[in-house]
Amino acid sequence: MKHHNKRDNSTLWVVIASVVFLMLLIAGLSLAGKKDQNRGEQDTSRLEAAESSYDFGTISMAKGKVTKIFVLKNNTSEAIMAEKLYTSCMCTQATLLKADERFGPFSMPAHGKIPEINESIGPGQEVGIEIIFDPAAHGPAGVGPIEREVTLETSDGRFKLKFKAQVAP
C-alpha cells in the first residue's frame, strides 16, 4: 500500500484546480465568441424600415411566386451607400428599387463574388427592396415552414429583412 504525503495531495489539488480553471476559461471564451457572432448578425445600418419581417402565411407551390416590397428610409443627414444585396437561399431574389431604377435581381451568393450595387441613398430618401420567393424552387421537399433572409450591405453596416411562410403543395 502506497503512502501519500501532504505535498502529493496539495499538488493533486493544484492540478485539479488548474484543469477546472482552464475548462471554465475556454467555456467563457466560447460564449463570448458566440455573443460577438450574434451581434454581427444584427442590423447595424442606420437605414430604417416600418417593417423588417413579413409572414406570407400559407402559400401554395401550385400558385407560383409571391412578392413583398419592404421600404427603407435614410433618416440621417448623410448619404448611405447601398453596396451589396443578397439572399439566404437560391429560391429568393431581391431587387433594390430607387425612383424609376431597378438594381438586380440578386440572389444567394454562389461560389463567386457578390455583385456590387454602389448606389447612394440620400438623406430623407426612400428605397424599396422587392423580394420574390419561389415556393416551388425546392420541389416536394420544400413543403412546410420556411424562413429566409435578405441582406443589404451598406456603407455603414448591414440591414437584414426576414420573411417566413408555410409552403403547401
Q: pLDDT digits over 51-89, tens only?
A: 999 999 999 999 999 999 999 999 999 999 999 999 999
Give the angle 11-12-17 at the CA atoms, nearest 5°.
100
- Is it true that domain 48-168 has CATH number 3.90.1150.10? no
Cα 72 versus chain centre, distance: 17
Cα 105 versus chain centre, distance: 18
CA–CA distance, 135 with 129 (Å, rounded to integer): 19
Q: Residue 108: count other Cβ atoms within 10 Å of its Cβ.
A: 15
Q: pLDDT digits over 104-159, tens only?
A: 999 998 766 788 999 999 999 999 999 999 999 999 999 999 999 999 999 999 99
CA–CA distance, 92 with 136 (Å, rounded to integer): 11
Would you say the pTM of this structure is higher than 0.85? no
